[in-house]
Amino acid sequence: MVKKILMQTYLWVLLLMLYAPILIIVIYSFTEAKVLGNWTGFSFNLYRSLCNTSAHHSLMNALVNTVAIAFIAATVSTLLGSVAAIGIYNLRARSRKAMGFINTIPILNGDIITGISLFLLFVSLGITQGFTTVVLAHITFCTPYVVLSVLPRLKQMNPNLYEAALDLGATPMQALWKVIIPEIRPGMISGFLLALTISIDDFAVTVFTIGNQGLETLSTYIYADARKGGLTPELRPLSAVIFVVILVLLIIINRRADKAKNK
């Protein structure tokens, strides 16, 4: 009994440590105090101010850039990662292990090293840094995560399904689209969401590949804002909205996955 109570207490303390910072941001997004921690009464003024694009033009531009980069990078990396996972899965055992090891290197590698490496690559190739280089950089470090999300689904799949489809007259592309893709779709969706959140969250790689043409993302905007001596209060409601949107997406996807399992 005591052991069970200690385990539950530990679990709740751990969850509190993980979600308390987010909860604090959400709570203080409903007050118009300029300083976080100073409650001046319940108010939606920060949300109204956030919707005023003329007052926060640079912040909204950074948000649009971040979302655009994240969706492009997540979409492309999902396609590339899924194809790569299928290719890795069909290799021989030794080659599969080698490619799996190579795929984990960018994940274990420090973000700052990845950012410097890509910066030097773009400079050596004479590529002007800006929106395109940031997207390419995000695709580079997001793709390995998609591969890791799709590979387990391939391992769970019946290996005879593809061959059976070919024997029944399907072309390789038809078998891929109608047999393999439906089997790995949950992994692709998980990889897409993971790539999306990683791209939105990234700072180290972005700051090395963003260039000096005035492009800003949320991470670089927040960094520049913090160096000025404080954070824009409207970042609190924006953070709360982003958290709620991602939470709702995860709940919807998990419920659909549960319904698919129960069928």
- Write the DSSP symbol of residue 168: T
Give the contacts of 65 (CB within 8 A, at least 6 positions apart): 131, 215, 216, 217
- Dist. CA 195–CA 133, nearest whole Å: 17
User: Looking at residue 254, what is its pLDDT?
Assistant: 75
pLDDT in tens, 176-201: 888 888 888 888 988 998 899 899 88
**Helix runs in the chain, H state only:** 2-28, 45-51, 57-89, 93-108, 111-124, 131-156, 160-167, 172-175, 181-201, 204-209, 218-227, 235-262
- Residue 182 has what pLDDT? 86
pTM score of the predicted model:
0.83
Q: What is the pLDDT of residue 261?
A: 65
What pLDDT was estimated at residue 45?
Answer: 83
Q: Distance between CA atoms of 177 and 166, rounded to whole angstroms? A: 12
pLDDT at 35 exceeding the cut of 70: yes
- The string of pLDDT tens digits covering residues 195-247 is 998 998 889 899 999 988 888 888 888 888 877 777 778 888 888 888 888 88
Q: What is the pLDDT of residues 69-128, one digit of tens each?
A: 999 999 999 999 999 999 898 888 888 889 888 888 888 888 889 899 999 999 998 888
Angle separating helix axes 131-156 and 57-89, nearest 10 degrees: 40
* Amino acid letter, residue 121: L
**Is the Cα dihedral 198, 199, 201, 202 positive or negative?**
positive
Residues 6 or more apart from 16 whose CB is under 8 A from it? none
Please say whether the beta carbons of 166 and 172 come within 8 A: yes
- What is the spatial distance between Cα 40 and Cα 29, in angstroms, rounded to a whole number? 11
Find out whether 142 and 73 touch, Cβ atoms under 8 Å: yes
What is the overall mean pLDDT for the chain? 85
Confidence of residue 29 (pLDDT cuts 50, 70, 90): confident
pLDDT score at 53: 63
